[in-house]
Structure 1
Amino acid sequence: MLMPSIFGENLFDDFFTPFYYDDKDEKKVEKKLYGRRAQNLLKTDIKEKPEGYELIVDVPGFKKEEVKVALKDGYLTVSAAKGLDEDDEDKKGHYIRRERYAGACERSFYVGEEVTQEDIKGEYKHGILKLFVPKKEAKPAASDPKYITIEG
């Protein structure tokens, strides 16, 4: 008989896990949406182009309305929140097992404080979010050193 699992996680006691298997880091991951495998969400490829950067983010299972992109203090944040679809029509049965969860996940990327909201272009299609962030010139650092008075 196959052991039931949710996203590759054993639903039963970890008693049979080999003693040498070290999963401390996996257990630290917050289990909001997809359990221990939550670190696999919002997988992102970043491609550098001459005019800017293209971010390709996997957001499977989310509708366009459930995905948000925000820019604040130079950080571009992609977040997704999902609620469970409630089955109002079928009140006679009861669930034997529920594997779908409701929750949220997010990921942030530093893009620089020179980038504005109007500069970033986005497109969402078939569970893939594509964002384009143009390259901007960084503000030059102050050329004149500012000296600090040392007392004593």
Structure 2
Amino acid sequence: MFGMIPFERNNDNFFDIFDNFERKFFGNSSAALPDFRTDIRDAGDKFVLEAELPGFQKEDIKLDVKDGILTISAEHSESKDEKNEQGGYIRRERRYGSFRRSFDISGVDDEHITASYQNGVLELHLPKVIPAVPESKRIAIE
């Protein structure tokens, strides 16, 4: 069991001090951006999904359902330019953000899903499928 716990090798090499400093200062450049946070709760006849998407506008968010999979995607880009009298840039900033998450919604009535977005929180109401009760019928004997 202890062999499966990830660890970092330490060879006590003098040059590792500089490598470790660079790694800690700049961070891991290959790390993926974290997904947006979601909370899902069972509200009896439906599930309520709350997704935190601060900084996005309602128009930046897309909800797609295909083959029992709900996909929430959000994309935002912003650009700010400040120029001096000669038209040269004093400051130019660009920002881009994109997130995507998918959820299995088998057991949900996807025709009646509702969504609202307020104060950076997307709220989805996912009504549960009402199970069909088998009918009992009498067969006539001839």
Query: Do both share a fold (TM > 0.5)?
Result: yes
Aligned residues: CA RMSD: 3.0
- Equivalences for residues 65-144 of structure 1 within 5 A: 65-87=59-81, 90-92=82-84, 93-95=89-91, 98=93, 101-112=95-106, 115-116=109-110, 118-137=111-130
Identity %: 31
Q: Which residue of 2 aligns with 1:59?
A: 53
Out of 44-53 and 78-87, give the one that drifted further: 78-87
Larger strand fraction of residues:
2
Q: Distance in 1 between matches of 2:66 and 2:31?
A: 27
Q: Is the 8 A contact 2:108 2:128 kept in 1?
A: no
Question: Structure 1: where are the runs of 5+ without partners?
Answer: 1-12, 30-37, 140-152
Change (3 A) 1:48 1:113: closer
Distance 1:14 1:125, change over 3 A: farther
Aligned length: 109
The alpha-carbon deviation at position 113 of structure 1 amounts to: 7.0
Q: What residue number does 1:16 align with?
A: 21
- Alpha carbons 2:69, 2:104 under 8 Å: kept: yes
Q: Write the distance in 2 (CA, Å) between the matches of 1:76 and 1:138.
A: 21
DSSP 3-state at the match of 2:91: coil
Structure number with greater Rg is 2
In structure 1, the residue matched to 2:11 is none
8 Å Cα contact 1:45-1:56 kept in structure 2: yes
Report if aligned partners of 1:74, 1:115 keep a CA contact under 8 Å in 2. Answer: no
Question: TM-score normalised to the size of structure 1?
Answer: 0.59
Query: Structure 1 residues 15, 114: closer, same or farther in 2, change over 3 A?
Result: closer
Q: Is contact 1:74-1:110 (8 Å) kept?
A: yes
Distance 1:113 1:53, change over 3 A: closer
* CA 1:83–1:121: 2 relative to 1, 3 Å: same
CA distance in 2, matches of 1:79, 1:131: 14
